[in-house]
Amino acid sequence: MASNNNVFNVSNPVYMLDALWNMISQYGDDFSRVLIFLPSRRAVRSIERMIVDKVGHAVILPLLVPLGSGPEDVDDEEYAPDTISNQERVVILSKLLSMDANVVNISTALPIAHDFVRMQDYLENEGVSICDINWASLIDDKYATHFQNKARILDILKQLPTDKLTVSAKRNHDIRSWIKKLDNYELVVVCGSTASVPATADLMAEVAKRKNGKIILSGRISGASEDFILDTNPYNSEYKFLERIGLSVDDVETIDVGNSDCMDIMNIAFGNMGQYCSDTLNNCVLIECARESEEASVAANIAKRAVLDNKSVLIITPDAAGNQRIKSEMARLNINADFSSGISGNMTDVGRVILNLFDFWIENNQSEYETLYAKADYNIFNMLVGFVDEKDKNVFQPVFNTDNEADVPVWMAIKNLSDILCANGIALDIHDARAFIADAIGTVSIRPNVSYDCHVCVLGTIESRMQTADVVILTGLNEGMFPSIGYENAWLPRAIANKIGLPSPNRKVSLMALDFMNLSCGAEVYWLRSKQAGGNLTTESRFLSRVRVAVGDIKDGKDILESVRKRDDIESKPLDYSAPTPPIDRTDVYVTELELLIHNPYAFYARHILRLRPIDDYWILPDARNFGNLVHETIENAKTFDAEVLIREMDLRAKQILDKNSILFYFWHKRFCEIAPFIEEHLKPGGTKEVAGSVRIAGRNVRARADVIWDGTVMDIKTGSAPTKKQLLDGTMPQLPLEGYIMQSGGFPVKMTDVSMTPILQFLQLKNGDLDLLEYSDSVAQEMIDNTVQKVKELFGQYSGNTVAEYEYRESVGEKYHEWDDLARIRD
């Protein structure tokens, strides 16, 4: 094709965002008709922030699209067929494979099915349909018998449904769908892509044809064409793309954002011309650690130094285990970091509970599983939900909260698996069920919310594209890790894999080499590797070896390493842990605050005297506290306690709190259906709800807000556990007894008779699976009131008397007593 002078690279890849800004800012600050394709969603967020910072005011952003997302305004004739999930493909293939005599059973087939799915995805990415391959003719008698046997098994792939697109094919379809939309925009830019995926290369080729199209390549391609054709070369994909559109390397224009001596050195190092560079890499430091744990500690300590200097930090980890090690070290050093990787569903509390439950059944009671499974019509999800609902949550290990919104993806994975099994008529024995559930929830990643105010960001190599920081730390620079080898097909001879279009395993090496080069061009870069991993000696990354050959010695960071190794010898400086002694306080106090004073005086000090309130985390999803508030508000505003009306009202309020289609609503609704009839039965008409009152004790006003009172009765509604009788007699749970004392003293603005002089104390306990009406009257209630009043008098004598008392920190059971622990510095 004729060049439109619209393919660019950047003089220094670190400033890719500046290069993009230079390109789009020529169109003013109206970006409404600008379309930009980017390598990841994180890159999209970076561009959004960059544009807002550059413009300095509200602006209509360009349409920013992470490659893989399709257009929203798709015409009817452009709609793709339905998508078959990867999980459904795995289940179907496992069933088909289990019919082969060599496979034995369905759980044995599970890893094979995953391998088949992966191979099909790679083929579809390359534009090869699995249905067009004749495995028997490809792998004939020239090949070993075991390859011929494998070819026969590979034919099973053709039995997958063909009326639905795979997830990989859908992604490719979405990328190509943009081609028809390109002419709708004044400017179309593809930025930071290597064109290594054929669908992306197709889109980029169409963009390159258009006068409104511009492409900014990921690397600063430079060198000899005989190097570029090697599949391990960093520029291999970009070179093949340029060849495809009829351009040479010289046709690529460079956007000048400042020179990079480092990139010049990198291009020499990764070429094969035998050149030696006289320049030194002043920006790069190599630290060779003894083991992986030390490497994580070094990375965290470098990050901490940078944060103290008000610098931003980008840490690259090529593997999940390294990410977790660094996460632990960051937590140890109290560094707030943005981690891209999530927690596997197998490692969540609910995931461990479910797997522990299956392990218990396998070892002790397989018949219970079989009975429950049959009772649930062989629906694993319904079986598990029913079992969990019926049991006291405290019997599970670890203890978990069924209302935790973060666990929803785990439950959804089990439900999807269950639906697929039922749709395909598959019933699993207990061993297969355990294997499939572990596999399903293992694919779930509970990711933390993106934090924009962190100075430290920890990413994988793919997410790191178009990201930079003041300090860049590359970890895991060993062979097999950085770089790691790409997809190796165990089912086909290498020659056959190449013939049918499977990509070379070296493609990943090529892409990681380009990532290494680009990231190493930062102002301050640290290269980290471990000399041992898993007890075995490692080999340094070929990337480091190439740099050594090109420049000779690399600056080492022995001073940093030594400081980390000596950290245990640092002399400690003890902190002042003495309890606070504020001026004497005689202000009004609420009964709920008195509970804090009894169990943890420091919490009372923070809550009542300092007036500190924990702020809800914006990202925290609805929990048991929200459930309790919902129930109280419904009862407070109810005009009738009819069960059906209460359920309808609570459902309505829940839908206002929870996300649409949230699976948490399923659990809440079951609770509503359980507690509403109980409320209707035990909440007598004629009571006054949410009534405030007060009484004076030892010269100080004590205030309360009772849930419901009748003449002679005061009720406290609990959606969790009510206090025990012993706690009430000891005066350590003062709320309800003090409300009874306020009633005795006429402290509620409600007309009472003589029966209120001997009030009945009631708890309406609405605990999950343990509904109860707890009632104390006569001498027992009076003893609770007397003991509690005496307890409060003693407290006021200690903390409101003429001497200043210490509000000491006490270890107490109960989350509400620990909301100010970080202020108390108890873990320092």
pLDDT (0 to 100) of residue 186? 93
pLDDT (0 to 100) of residue 300? 95
Structure tokens at 711: 């003449």
pLDDT digits (tens, 9 = 90+) for 638-670: 988 999 999 999 999 998 888 777 888 888 999
574 prior amide bond cis, ω within 30: no
Of 453 and 86, the structure prediction assigns the larger pLDDT to 86
Distance CA 288, CA 295 (A): 8
693-702 residues labelled b (16+ CB within 10 A) or e (exposed): bbbebeebeb
Closest CA to 39 of 694, 439, 514: 514
749-761 residues labelled b (16+ CB within 10 A) or e (exposed): ebebeeebebbbb
Q: Which DSSP string do the residues of 669-736 spell out, in sequence order?
A: HHHHHHHHHHHHHH--TT-EEEEEEEEEETTEEEEEEEEEEETTEEEEEESSPPPPHHHHHHTSS-HH
Question: Residue 57 burial (CB < 10 Å; 0-12/13-18/19+)?
Answer: exposed
Q: Are 164 and 81 in contact (CB under 8 A)?
A: yes
Average pLDDT over residues 125-134: 84
For residue 263, pLDDT over 60 is answered with yes
Residue 258: count other Cβ atoms within 10 Å of its Cβ.
Answer: 10
Closest CA to 340 of 448, 465, 453, 455: 448
Query: Which of these ranges, 199-203, 343-347, 673-677, has the smallest mean pLDDT?
Result: 343-347
Question: Residue 573 burial (CB < 10 Å; 0-12/13-18/19+)?
Answer: exposed
Question: Residue 153 burial (CB < 10 Å; 0-12/13-18/19+)?
Answer: middle
pTM for this model (two decimals): 0.67
pLDDT (0 to 100) of residue 198? 92
For residue 77, pLDDT over 60 is answered with no
Distance CA 442, CA 428 (A): 18
Average pLDDT over residues 396-418: 80
The 8-class DSSP code of residue 419 comes to: H
Beta bridge partner(s), residue 289: 530
Q: Are 125 and 44 in contact (CB under 8 A)?
A: no
Distance CA 1, CA 208 (A): 9
Closest CA to 647 of 680, 691, 693: 680
Query: Which of these ranges, 387-391, 461-465, 533-537, has the smallest mean pLDDT?
Result: 387-391
pLDDT digits (tens, 9 = 90+) for 583-633: 888 899 999 999 999 998 988 988 888 888 877 766 677 888 889 999 999
For residue 550, pLDDT over 80 is answered with yes
For residue 402, pLDDT over 80 is answered with no
Residue with tokens 């990410």: 323
SS3 535: coil
Question: Residue 570 burial (CB < 10 Å; 0-12/13-18/19+)?
Answer: exposed
The whole-chain average pLDDT of the chain stands at: 87
pLDDT digits (tens, 9 = 90+) for 265-312: 898 889 877 666 666 788 899 999 999 999 999 999 999 999 999 999
Q: Are 676 and 650 in contact (CB under 8 A)?
A: yes
pLDDT (0 to 100) of residue 570? 65
Residue 46: count other Cβ atoms within 10 Å of its Cβ.
Answer: 18
CA 218 → CA 15, 215, 252, distances in Å?
Answer: 11, 9, 12
Q: In which order are the strands placed within the sheet that holds 253-255?
A: 63-66, 34-38, 187-191, 213-216, 7-10, 253-255
How many CA atoms lie within 13 Å of 651's alpha carbon, on the beta-carbon side?
13
Of 447 and 124, the structure prediction assigns the larger pLDDT to 124
Q: Are 194 and 238 in contact (CB under 8 A)?
A: yes
Average pLDDT over residues 770-791: 93
pLDDT (0 to 100) of residue 74? 58
Distance CA 684, CA 522 (A): 71
Closest CA to 285 of 474, 458, 469: 474
Confidence of residue 81 (pLDDT cuts 50, 70, 90): low
Work out the percent of the chain whose per-residue pLDDT is above 90: 48
How many CA atoms lie within 13 Å of 419's alpha carbon, on the beta-carbon side?
9
Confidence of residue 789 (pLDDT cuts 50, 70, 90): very high
Distance CA 776, CA 785 (A): 11
Of 78 and 529, the structure prediction assigns the larger pLDDT to 529
Distance CA 47, CA 78 (A): 29
pLDDT digits (tens, 9 = 90+) for 453-504: 788 999 988 888 898 899 999 999 999 999 988 777 777 778 888 888 888 8
Q: Classify strands 83-84 and 63-66 as parallel, antiparallel or unpaired.
A: unpaired
pLDDT digits (tens, 9 = 90+) for 369-387: 999 999 999 999 999 988 8
For residue 511, pLDDT over 80 is answered with yes
pLDDT (0 to 100) of residue 2? 44
Beta bridge partner(s), residue 341: none
pLDDT (0 to 100) of residue 289? 94
Determine phi and psi for 529, rounding to 5 degrees: -150, 160
**Quick one: which H or E segment has residue 188?**
strand 187-191
How many CA atoms lie within 13 Å of 711's alpha carbon, on the beta-carbon side?
7
pLDDT digits (tens, 9 = 90+) for 99-108: 877 777 888 8
Length of the chain: 828
pLDDT (0 to 100) of residue 242? 94
Structure tokens at 266: 């990198």
